[in-house]
Amino acid sequence: MPRSRRAARRGLRSGRACSPASEEEEAGSEVLSHCSSASEGASPAEEAAGNEAVGEQGQEEEVEDRLKEHMDNLLDKSAKTRQAALQSLRLAFSSKTLSEFLLERRLTLTDSLEKCLKKGKGEEQALAGTVLTLLCLQMGSGWEGEEIFRSLKPLLTNILTDSTASPGARQSCATALGMCCYIAAADLEDLILCMSCLEGIFSPPSAGEGGSALIQHGPLHCSALQSWSLLLTICPPSHIKSILDDGWLKLPPLLSSNFVTLRILAGETIALVFELAQDLEEDLCHQDTEFLRAQLKVLATESNKYRAKTDRRKQRSIFRDILRFIESGEYQEETIRFGLECMFLDSWARQRTYQAFKEVLGSGIRHHLQVGPRQGCQRDAGPVPVIADSPLLLQNNELLREIFGLGPPLVLDAAALKASKVSRFEKHLYNSAAFKARTKARSRVRDKRADVL
């Protein structure tokens, strides 16, 4: 190549190296190299903590956006869209504690639920009643929950007592009326009026008619009786005495119902009445008491073939416990475990309260009782105790823990939490040993030389 061309190329290269663009590229490369060296200097733990915080914040914002969208869809013209939104809100409210998120939006959500109850039909009204119950449970027993209960109590009562309304809607309103009154009612008058309304649903047509004259009781009567017995657990002694005089006599005819669930609920409510009488040192010496005990004995030993086998077994088991309590005062205690904690159901009143909340929350009751991540924080299904030095902000349903007397959540330090867990290596060893034992057992059976009977 001629020398002139080489010199020209050298000059062009030197001109490019001195151009402003090349200076910017060099400066950018220096910044990138500085950032990379700074990132290399950060510890993996700090990077993981930062990424986890950003991920949790993003998940929380995503969940809140979804909830806002569902709330907006409650006002949609399409009934299917409204029902889908109600279903999504029901699942969210039952599985997470969202009191802080709902606090500023409770009035808007209450108005939307009121419109669904007024203008909706059947399934939409039933879902709206369930979401209303969960909303009141999220708000708690303060003035916020009382405000929701007072604003929708007349509407719930009207739907419940309307014989032309959908049975599913009436059933949901019976549960909502009882639960919201239990959580947020501040006046005794509201409590008595709600109990009177519920009693009018499950009571026989007239006090003098026997079990043969009862109509076919269904899920509506079960929900009304369950709500009535729940409110009975918080009645003042003066009102309980009036029920012990003659009000409880409306319960024995329900033992002759064709529905096993209603028979069991009636028996458990009778046991609850006897328990409250013992607490008040009142004696239920009525002329029908002996007949009642004989009726309970029949239900505890019933073996009629026209009943389903599963129903007979369940009925005998529960009525044996009821009869044992009425005759000797012994209660079959039950232990409920959630996370690293447990609580004891040692009375009929405590059992009725737990069953009522479990009916509304389903499997989510364990998430409300134990401490779990705030909305948006997706965790494993295992127990999540409070760790003293944990960066996560955890919360639980304070109302439920207060109702069942659980006190403050269990607090563990990191060492105690680590000691309570089984290491991954130990799990691996256990699974390997179980797999080998299972393989040997199957090999013996599959061996052609094994004796075949």
Query: What average pLDDT does range 440-451 have in this prediction?
Result: 53
User: Is residue 41, in this structure, part of any structural domain at all?
Assistant: no
Same domain? For 213 and 328 the reply is yes
DSSP 412: E
User: Does the pLDDT at position 111 exceed 60?
Assistant: yes
Residue 61, C-beta contacts closer than 8 angstroms, at least 6 positions apart: 376
Q: Above pLDDT 70, what percent of the chain? A: 67
What residues does 393 pair with on adjacent strands?
none
Question: What's the pLDDT score for residue 137?
Answer: 92
Pick from 48-57, 355-364, 369-378 the range whose average pLDDT is largest: 355-364
Q: Hey, is 339 helix, strand or coil?
A: coil
What is the rounded distance in angstroms from the CA atom of residue 344 to the CA atom of residue 350? 9
Instruction: Measure the CA–CA gap between 298 and 290, rounded to whole angstroms.
Output: 13
- Residues 198 and 108 both lie in one domain: no
For residues 202 and 306, membership in a common domain is answered with yes
Q: Model pTM greater than 0.75?
A: no
- Between 26 and 123, residue with greater pLDDT: 123
Identify the domain boundary among 166, 186, 206: 186
d(CA 409, CA 395): 9
**333 and 344 Cβ atoms separated by less than 8 Å:** yes
The residue from 139, 168, 186 where one domain ends is 186
Element (H, E) at 345: strand 341-345
In this structure, are 317 and 370 located in the same domain? Answer: no
The answer on pLDDT for 39 being more than 50 is no
302 lies in some domain:
yes
pLDDT band (50, 70, 90) for residue 333: confident
Domain count, the chain: 3
**203 and 222 together in one domain:** yes
Query: 177-197, pLDDT tens digit by residue?
Result: 999 999 988 888 999 999 999
Task: Identify whether 400 is part of a domain.
Answer: yes
Sign, CA torsion 356/272/238/280:
negative
Would you put residue 407 in left (φ > 0), alpha (ψ -120 to 50) or beta? left
196 and 325 in a single domain? The answer is: yes
**Per-residue pLDDT averaged across 137-157, rounded?**
91
In a domain, 53, yes or no: no
Both tokens of 81, joined, read 């869209």
pLDDT digits (tens, 9 = 90+) for 252-278: 888 888 888 999 999 999 999 989 888
* Residue 81 clears pLDDT 60, i.e. is over it: yes
* Residue 90 covered by a domain: yes
Give the chain's mean pLDDT.
Answer: 76
**Distance between CA atoms of 214 and 254, rounded to whole angstroms?**
8
Residue 261 lies in a domain: yes
Q: What tokens does 262 get?
A: 């209603």
255 and 301: one domain?
Answer: yes
Same domain? For 146 and 264 the reply is no
CATH classification of the domain holding 140: 1.25.10.10
For 197-227, what is each residue's pLDDT tens digit?
999 998 865 434 444 334 444 889 999 999 9
**Do 244 and 313 belong to one domain?**
yes
Is 264 in the same domain as 244?
A: yes
What range defines the domain where residue 95 resides? 63-186
Q: Are 253 and 292 in the same domain?
A: yes
Q: DSSP letter string over 332-390? A: --EEEEETTEEEEE-SHHHHHHHHHHHHHHGGGHHHHHS-EEPTT----SS---EETT-
Residue 344 within any structural domain of the chain: no
The answer, yes or no, to whether residue 366 has pLDDT greater than 60, is yes
- Residue 31 located in a structural domain: no
Query: Are residues 413 and 376 part of one domain?
Result: yes
